Chains A and B, each alone.
Chain A
């Protein structure tokens, strides 16, 4: 489904702030694979996801989704194939628009936006049923502005929006990091449910090693803009946090140093 080969990206090339963010990152995902992504600060996890989403063009390498070469497509065109949920709950939704309007915008992802109604009556009924899945009572608040929702509610809504049109690849960029532990667990549970139901090919960046191990059927670790560890199948099921830390030291030759990861063990 996803075929990202040898991605290169350097920010501020030729200046003192030059930063090689991606240095040959490669990843292939089969349809229905749920891959968690871990790595220290600045390892290139979010950059990798942004490269796939087309936030900026890559300096080198190629990206294809379901056999379609998307390397040259700008973000808004690539959006047709991608569902995205961001770390900041504010990013994924339009605060001063209604819940049903936000969902309707997502429903038209990849389609033509003409002069038909922005939200139709049939869609309102459809959204009403869909929102029940989240079990947050949002189905009775469809005309409320999204800005009135809590961070967790907004992330759940964004998740629904990202998967309303089945994406070829779902990109979750630390989408529970800004939430309190209880809400984070709930959103993660919903995430798992939606991914299972729709058999979505997914990449989930997380700083929580336990989440990375528990969820999904594939795990990659990134360091210095490369995928340095790739674990799947039975091996992943048996994985422990100690294993991961050990493997990291083995592969990278340095100690795994990220307060966030260590503290959240």
Chain B
């Protein structure tokens, strides 16, 4: 290493202050829980329905935009969040209809909705890319100003969403959705309208994503047209980090409650990791690159594990002419 690099690293390490990290962590936890709700939405499509839904990047911002604009118009924060949820449901409905009624491939349906929502979201915010809502003037349900309260509120929201999901996916309709994701041919043979189930699942999923978007907008005090950019990656990261972690702790004893819980834990962990790398002076501009790499690694882990268990290389070592 050249002397200059040593000096740079030395400077960085000298400038690190563990106190600033601890000061930032509660904020990361609060954000992680709220994004965990978003990840629960992604879990519905990605894991239960086996549908990679990219519309969430749009519906997350829709949730934020609807919440802020309604609150500025005089709605209370609860009502605004409820309507944001409905807006997300409609977004999911569009993706579902594009896919089932019009036969557009899953990923493309999501992308189309996502890109359409960009314009929709701008229109919701009256043509502005950013709309602020001050915690001083409005009664926000969650804000980074009061971080302890924010963490508790986020936990309550996450707990309610998890409880509802646990109930719903245990019902006849929820089971039908899970069956649709697990085996469409079998589902049809058992009389399940799989197109309908896909539309319902996409709607619920995007509703949750929009709810999460609304909470984040209140938390940070503004809605931004770009607030959902890369949301799918964060959602997937939370789902996958949670799975890897859950399997490490509970293995085969993972039940549905634990799976949902670990999705939220995955969200928290993800934001704590982000907090740490930012504290380590990683340039904020490189954050998306870092996100992509983290998700790629976690997605690759199960595949690589399998390969290590049974690979051609090992087969050659075990058997092969040499050993015969």
Contacts and interface: CB of A to CB of B under 8 A. Distances in A.
B172 A106 contact: no
B179 interface: yes
Interface in A95-130: 95-97, 101, 104-106, 108-119
Contact of B175 (A75, A104, A111): A104
Contacts of A117: 170-172
Interface stretch (A15-23, A77-85, A200-208, A250-258): A77-85
B278 interface: no
A92 B182 contact: no
Given A94-B179, A94-B182, A113-B176, A76 B171 contact: no
Contact of A113 (B168, B170, B173, B189): B173
Given A118-B170, A118-B174, A94 B191 contact: no
A58 interface: no
Contacts of A111: 191
B189 A105 contact: no
Q: How large is the interface on A (under 10, 10 to 19, 20 to 34, 35 or more residues)?
A: 20 to 34
A71 interface: no
A94 to B, nearest CB: 4
Interface residues of B, number: 22
Contacts of A172: none
A108 B191 contact: yes
B134 interface: no
A97 B190 contact: no
B198 interface: no
Given A96-B182, A101-B175, A84 B189 contact: yes
A23 to B, nearest CB: 26
Given A91-B185, A118-B170, A76 B176 contact: no
Nearest to B174: A118
Interface of B: 168, 170-176, 178-179, 182-183, 185-194
5 contacts: A79-B190, A92-B189, A105-B192, A110-B191, A118-B172
